Each structure stands twice: as structure tokens, then as C-alpha cells.
Amino acid sequence: MTSGWKYLYSLAVTVAAFSLWTVPLYAQEYIFENSQSWVAPQSGQAVIECWGGGSGGGVSNSGEGGGGGGAYVRSTYNLEQGVEYWIWVGNGGQPGQDPYFAGGRSGFGTTPRVPDIYAVGGTTGQGRVGGAGGSANVSVGEVRYSGGNGGSSSGGNAGGGGGGSSASPDGDGNPGADNVGGQGGAGGSAPFDGGAGGTGGNNQQNGQSAWAVYPGNFGGGGGGGGAHANAGSGAIGRVRITYVSPNP
């Protein structure tokens, strides 16, 4: 059994154990792709998962590094019906070396000021060097994984590095590949329940934005541009709430 199916199986077992719960919200999911407040429709225990936003690729005239993918965290909460909670969804970062262009933090909180748990976004490519994935060490949650690092470019008339994938419920994200000559590196492949990184551009071609890899992609870093071309942007983060049982 793969790790991805093991995660789903463990969630299904948890739900089945409380199959006598009178209101059937077992494994009901709420997925958020925008920051907002949210009122719990039901009291119950829920798994809260957050994916940070992916970063954009670097800026260079001779091949650019790919952006890092967003981190992943999850924690279990006892939610109360009618109580307002707050959701933060990290933006996808833009190309550039300034930390301002990094992927945004995604989180969940019981107050509007500071999230209780959060997954940080990936960091931007630093010129030809790929950006680091969002770090589990600076994220907050019961379970934490780091995003994949962006691939680097060798410079000259070179292709760009691929963007790193997001992390996932199963582990750290996959790194983007380095360029091979004038060919851009592949983006980090999407892990189970995670997002892919953008492909690095070939020489004089733009890097792929992570949100454009496939519809609904999230958390991946943008691909670095080839020489004399532009890097791609990162994909937004995500928050998911899954009811699993009544409150203890």
C-alpha cells in the first residue's frame, strides 16, 4: 500500500470508528483558496491542513533558478458549531530576488490576528540559484513537511531551473531539476495531494508559472526563465478542513 493510500485509509478508519454519530458530516471537506473567515457548521473534531504558496523564479540575464514550493502542516482541532474561525491562504510569489516576492503563508486560527498553525511559502530563486522550499522548521503544526527546492541554472546561454513542488500529507516536496545546457529543468513532480512546480524555460524562453501546470495546481514554485527571458510565478496555497468525528 503506498503512503498516499495509507493516509486515506487511516482517515477512513477514523471516520468509520464514529459511524454512529447522528449528524453525517464524516469526512466532509471544506477547501479554501482565498483568505476569509469561516463559521463552523457543526461541532466536531476536524483535521486542518495548510499548504503554503509557491515562490516565483529568480531574476538573471543568464538563466534563472526556479522558485521553492510551499510547506505543508496539519493539526487536529475540536471545532464548535457557530464559532467563527479565520483562514489565511498564501499568495503565489512573483519572479524576483527580494523576499517580498516569496510565496505566502497559509494558516488557520481561532482569532483574526495570528494563525494558530501555518505553513510558510517557498522562497524566491536567487539569480541563477534555485529558491529553498518552505521550511517545516519555521512552520507550525502537529505534522510539518518542507516544500521542494527550486532547481538552479548553470548560467550563460542556459535554460532555467525547474520550480520545486509543494510538500504533501506524506512528506517533503520534490525538488525542481537543474537545467541541461540550453534546456530548462523539469518542475518538481506533484506528490500525492500536493502541487507541481513549473518547468524551467529553455534558452531565451520564459519559465512556466506553477499555476499554469494544470488547472487547480497549488503550492508549487515557478520555473526559472532561460537566458534573457522571464521566470514564472508560483501557485497559491490552500487550506482544507475535514471533519472526522464528534468532539470527545
Whole-angstrom distance, CA of residue 43 vs CA of residue 243: 9
Q: By 3-state DSSP, what share of the chain in percent is helix, strand and coil, each rounded to 5?
A: 10, 20, 70
Largest interatomic CA distance in the chain: 65
Lowest-pLDDT range, 49-58, 130-139, 216-225? 216-225
Among 83, 92, 56, 59, which residue's Cα sits nearest to residue 208? 56
Domain boundaries, the chain: 1-248
Taking a C-beta distance cutoff of 8 angstroms, is the pair 57, 231 a contact?
Answer: yes
pLDDT one-digit tens code per residue, 134-182:
999 999 999 999 999 999 999 888 899 999 999 999 999 999 999 999 9
Which residues are CB-contacts of 22 (< 8 A; sequence separation ≥ 6)? none
Q: pLDDT tens digits, residue range 20-56?
A: 333 445 568 999 999 999 999 999 999 999 999 999 9
Q: Could you tell me the pTM of the whole model?
A: 0.88
Residue 107 to residues 59, 130, 240, Cα–Cα distance (Å): 29, 25, 10
Cα separation, 233 vs 206, in Å, equals 11
